[in-house]
Every structure is written in structure tokens, then in C-alpha cells.
């Protein structure tokens, strides 16, 4: 730490000087980071409790008078004149993100097991081409997807627009490659010997996966699950293009609709955003230990 050149000042003075200067710079930079991250959150949450008057005033109101539920009433209270039926949007989001998560975890476990444990020809080509997904922008894929699914839809007889199942499948396509990659890396860290022993004892592959590999991989499964859930919960573009019927809007699309309403009601937008943000941030903070690793390992696309 200390510099090795004692000049006019003696070493102790110099160290103290250096140390405190460093401390100060450190504290300032840290504070700057924390404020710039936490202030937008504070603003979002506090604004959701503001009244129309507090929101529309001539100056900014930093602390609301009280915890006014005006904005939340508009979202949830059927008696409110411009009731938004936000409960419906929460259910839509959940009914997209929960199936996406479950299916993605199951499929990626199977796929990752195959890649990590089994030998077969074309493995590397397959893995690399699956990872190609990283390269393609969502906007590039959405045009052919739209045309393709419309085509298949008219033949098989399902509606492409306003179909939450279509969203689930497109989210799977977006999340499976990363999930596969994360889990493969994790499975490779689990020693192979236990599985081999079980196989020799006559257990089937599926028994081995179910009884041995999965219990050992729980941290990775949690992080893959949360990761897919997060992507499906937050996704905007595909839902925006594929959904036209207000009854099927997921939360992001609904928030965008409220935001673009001719009568601006930022408190309602902020209340809806708070409802959408808090669960995902909470989930993340609780499981942060698992996730930080997963985030870097998979390099979450975003």
C-alpha cells in the first residue's frame, strides 16, 4: 500500500494522507453509484403513492403527502371510473412466464445432460449452431416468425396473434440456448463416477438423471429457472407485436398502453411498474448467490 519513497513527509503522515484521500474518493464514487441506482427506484415506488395533484404540480414532489392508493385503485378497483383490470395482466404475464420456465428447465436439463455426458457425432456443431441465437436480433426474427406462423396458423387452424401459447414458444426459443449452455457447464463440474456406478448397478439413464444428477444440480436449476422466468416476465418486443387484444396484454404491454394514454397518469404507470418490478427484484435479491454466477456463466442475453 505505502509508497516506498519517504521524502519530505515521514512515512506515517504520507500513508495517512494517501489513505484518507483514497477513502474519500472511494466513498464519493460509491455514493454516486448507489444514488444513481437507488434514486430511480425510490422515484418509481414513491410516485406510485402520489395523487394526481402531486404528480401534475408545477414542481416535483419528492416525498408524497401520505400513502395514497389512488393509482392502485385505478389498477385494481372495479368501481374506479377508469378501471384498468391490471389483475388480468398479471395473470397473463404469469401464464406466459411460468410455463416458459417449467418447459425451459425440463428441456434444457435433458439437452444439457446429453451434451455433458453422452458422446455423439455432431455435438459441437449442434451446440455452436444453437448458440448462434446470440447473433440474431429479435427484430430480425420477428418478421419471418410472424409470416411463418401466420402461414402455419392458417393451415393448422390456430391464431398467431393474441395467442399466449405462441409467446411461450418464442420465449423458449430465446431462452433455451442460454439455459442449455449454463446447465451443460454445471453438469460438467459434477463428477461422472457416481453416475457410472449407478449405471453399472443397473439403473436406467432416466433414473440416473432423476435420482443423482438433478439433486446435485439444484443451484444451477434454480438459476436457470429464475433466468428464464425473468426473461419471460420482462419481455416487451414479441408481446408488443403478437398481442392486439387488450384482454391478453402482458404487464409490459399494458404499462406501455397506460403510458401512451392521452391523459397522462404517471402515478398509475409508476404503480403498475412497481408491481411488475418488486417481485422480480425481490426474487433476485433472495437468490442472488446462485444467480450472480449464472449471469456470468451464461452471459444472459439482454
Q: Give the contacts of 165 (CB within 8 A, at least 6 positions apart).
A: 158
Q: Which is nearer to other proteins, 81 or 104 (CB)?
A: 104
Q: Which stretch binds other proteins (CB under 8 A): 7-15, 148-156, 186-194, 216-224?
A: 148-156
Pick the binder of other proteins from 142, 190, 212, 216 (CB under 8 A): 142
Cα atoms in the 13 Å half-sphere on the side-chain side of 297: 21
Q: Which is nearer to other proteins, 47 or 81 (CB)?
A: 47
C-alpha cell at position 163: 395467442
Least distance to other proteins, CB of residue 194, Å: 18
Least distance to other proteins, CB of residue 109, Å: 9
Q: How far apart are CA 41 and CA 14, in angstroms?
A: 41
First CA to last CA across the chain, in angstroms? 39
Q: How far apart are CA 177 and CA 171, in angstroms?
A: 11
Q: Check: CB of residue 171 under 8 Å from CB of residue 235.
A: yes
> Residues 231 to 250: which contact other proteins by CB under 8 A?
233-234, 236-237, 241
C-alpha cell at position 284: 433476485
Q: Which is nearer to other proteins, 79 or 118 (CB)?
A: 118
Pick the binder of other proteins from 221, 230, 232, 268 (CB under 8 A): 230
Total of residues contacting other proteins (CB under 8 A): 95
Answer yes or no whether residue 212 interacts with other proteins by CB under 8 A.
Answer: no
Q: Check: CB of residue 206 under 8 Å from CB of residue 106.
A: no
> Residues 268 to 287: which contact other proteins by CB under 8 A?
269-270, 273-274, 276-277, 280-281, 284-285
Q: Which is nearer to other proteins, 28 or 218 (CB)?
A: 28
Q: Check: CB of residue 72 under 8 Å from CB of residue 273.
A: no
How far is residue 245 CA from its own chain's centroid?
A: 24
> Residues 32 to 91: which contact other proteins by CB under 8 A?
33-34, 36-38, 40-41, 43-44, 47, 56-60
Q: Which stretch binds other proteins (CB under 8 A): 8-16, 189-197, 217-225, 253-261?
A: 253-261
Q: Which is nearer to other proteins, 143 or 197 (CB)?
A: 143
Q: How far apart are CA 71 and CA 101, in angstroms?
A: 31
Q: How far apart are CA 209 and CA 61, in angstroms?
A: 57
Q: Check: CB of residue 176 under 8 Å from CB of residue 301.
A: no
Answer yes or no whether residue 120 interacts with other proteins by CB under 8 A.
Answer: yes
Answer yes or no whether residue 105 interacts with other proteins by CB under 8 A.
Answer: no
Q: Check: CB of residue 65 under 8 Å from CB of residue 51.
A: yes
Under DSSP, the state recorded for 213 is I
Least distance to other proteins, CB of residue 235, Å: 9
Per-residue binder mask for other proteins (CB under 8 A), 149-188, x = binder: -xx--x--------------xx-xxx-xx--x--------
Amino acid at each position: 500500500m505505502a509508497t516506498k519513497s519517504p521524502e519530505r513527509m515521514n512515512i506515517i503522515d504520507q500513508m495517512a494522507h494517501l489513505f484518507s484521500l483514497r477513502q474519500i474518493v472511494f466513498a464519493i464514487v460509491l455514493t454516486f453509484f448507489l444514488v444513481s441506482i437507488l434514486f430511480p427506484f425510490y422515484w418509481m415506488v414513491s410516485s406510485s403513492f402520489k395523487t394526481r395533484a402531486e404528480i401534475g404540480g408545477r414542481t416535483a414532489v419528492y416525498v408524497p403527502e401520505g400513502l395514497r392508493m389512488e393509482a392502485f385503485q385505478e389498477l385494481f378497483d372495479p368501481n374506479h371510473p377508469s378501471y384498468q383490470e391490471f389483475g388480468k395482466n398479471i395473470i397473463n404475464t404469469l401464464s406466459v412466464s411460468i410455463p416458459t420456465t417449467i418447459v425451459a428447465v425440463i428441456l434444457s436439463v435433458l439437452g444439457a445432460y446429453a451434451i455433458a455426458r453422452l458422446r455423439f457425432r455432431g455435438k459441437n456443431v449442434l451446440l455452436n449452431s444453437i448458440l448462434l441465437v446470440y447473433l440474431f436480433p429479435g427484430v430480425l426474427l420477428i418478421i419471418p416468425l410472424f409470416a411463418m406462423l401466420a402461414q402455419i396458423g392458417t393451415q393448422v387452424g390456430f391464431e398467431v396473434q393474441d395467442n399466449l401459447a405462441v409467446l411461450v414458444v418464442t420465449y423458449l426459443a430465446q431462452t433455451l440456448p442460454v439455459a442449455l449452455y449454463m446447465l451443460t457447464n454445471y453438469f460438467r463440474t459434477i463428477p461422472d463416477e457416481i453416475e457410472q456406478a449407478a449405471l453399472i448397478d443397473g439403473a436406467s439413464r432416466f433414473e440416473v438423471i432423476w435420482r443423482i444428477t438433478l439433486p446435485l444440480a439444484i443451484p444451477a436449476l434454480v438459476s436457470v429457472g429464475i433466468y428464464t422466468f425473468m426473461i419471460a416476465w420482462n419481455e416487451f418486443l414479441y408481446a408488443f407485436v403478437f398481442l392486439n387484444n387488450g384482454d391478453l396484454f402482458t404487464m409490459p404491454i399494458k404499462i406501455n398502453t397506460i403510458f401512451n394514454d392521452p391523459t397522462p397518469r404517471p402515478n398509475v404507470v409508476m404503480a403498475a411498474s412497481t408491481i411488475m418490478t418488486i417481485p422480480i427484484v425481490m426474487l433476485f435479491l433472495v437468490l442472488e448467490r446462485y444467480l450472480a454466477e449464472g449471469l456470468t456463466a451464461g452471459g444472459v442475453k439482454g
